[in-house]
Amino acid sequence: MPGMTIRSVLLSAVFMFSGTSALAADAILKPFVLGSKGAGTVAEKAEQVKAALAAGGFTVVGDYVPYADAEILVVTSDELKKNAAESEHGGFGAIQRVAITSAKNEVQVSYTNPVYMSHVYRMKGDLSGVSAGLAKALGRVEEFGAKGMTAAQARKYHYMIGMEYFDEPDVLAEYASYEEAVQAVNAKLSANRNGVSKVYRVDVPGKQESVFGAALKGATEADKNMDDRFIMSEIDFRDVKSTAHLPYEVLVSGNRVYALYARFRIAINFPDLSMMGKNSFMNIMKSPDAIRDALRNAVQK
């Protein structure tokens, strides 16, 4: 190239590489991915999704029907569990959730965005391989669920001043050992105490850590604030549904039992939800404490 030295060419290449890296670092991430939408029934589509996930190397560890016209499959994989083992409280990210939802005369297949989740859960790796695997198995139309955040913003996210961060989980219970804690939580959630029931269990390899899925169903009007169906009826109001928000996680790490406080756990999937007005956090104001109390009552001695 006339007038260009080797040094200038190298500097230009470095600049271009740096610019690409900066663009990647500043990429906007959203909580969910729409894989596909079209005709059919939830039951039919769920069977197709299960087969596609298995072919893609994912293991379905839980199947949850929170309300009519919705089914949620919880999956894990070797890559998910490996990254969980290398990350503090990584068990929260040892699974991904896939939702099949009937809405607007179509069936939507959606799933949690692994890269987004890796950052809000402050994991070591960004789960880009898991993201590619889910996209290959289920499709990838668009990310949705919020205006979005960069990876850096997601890693330090909290909804607003005074509300919890990822590294401020609620301690639900404490046992003498990991073995006692995990056995107790497994038994108690399996017994469906107080409307809190087990959806799945995944043990993190090489680590004293296990994550459980907890379905929350209020039996009476007095219990509605902890109820999955009630909460979603208030906050999941857009055309493309965020059903893959459910179910909640309970983490046994060492001899302690944790849950992410709901003001964080709900907000990471609905970060754009307004504080006041219709379909706002104000309408579920009592839910974070109700969820915490329900989970505590379910897993304590």
Which residue ranges make up each domain of the chain?
28-299
* Strand bridging mode 32-38 / 106-112: antiparallel
210: β partners: 203, 252
Q: What is the DSSP string of 8-38?
A: HHHHHHHHHHHHHHHHHHT--B-SEEEEEEE
Q: Which residues contact 34 (CB under 8 A, 6 or more apart)?
A: 108, 109, 110, 140, 141, 142, 143, 144, 240
Q: Give the pLDDT of residue 25.
A: 55
Cβ distance 216 to 227 under 8 Å?
yes
CATH architecture for residues 28-299: 2-Layer Sandwich (3.30)
DSSP H or E stretch at residue 292: helix 287-299
Give pLDDT tens digits for 190-215.
999 889 999 999 999 999 999 999 99
Q: In which region does residue 231 sit, left (phi positive, over 0), alpha (psi from -120 to 50) or beta (all else)?
A: alpha
Give pLDDT tens digits for 96-121.
999 999 998 999 999 999 999 999 99
Q: Give the pLDDT of residue 279.
A: 86
Mean pLDDT score, 121-148: 98
Q: Give the pLDDT of residue 20.
A: 39
- Specify the DSSP class assigned to residue 225: G
Look-up of token digits 């590294």: 167
CB atoms within 10 A of CB 159: 18
Give pLDDT tens digits for 244-264.
999 999 999 999 999 999 999
What is the band of 301 on the pLDDT scale with cuts at 50, 70, 90?
confident
Q: What is the pTM of this model?
A: 0.90
Considering only residues 87 and 12, tell me which one the structure prediction assigns the higher pLDDT.
Answer: 87
Q: Give the pLDDT of residue 219.
A: 84
Across 14-18, 21-25, 59-63, 145-149, least confident range: 14-18
* Strand bridging mode 59-64 / 70-76: antiparallel
Sign of CA dihedral 125, 60, 252, 298: positive
Percent of the chain with pLDDT over 70: 92
174: β partners: 256
Across 15-19, 29-33, 63-67, 197-201, least confident range: 15-19
CA–CA gap between residue 232 and residue 26 (Å, rounded): 30
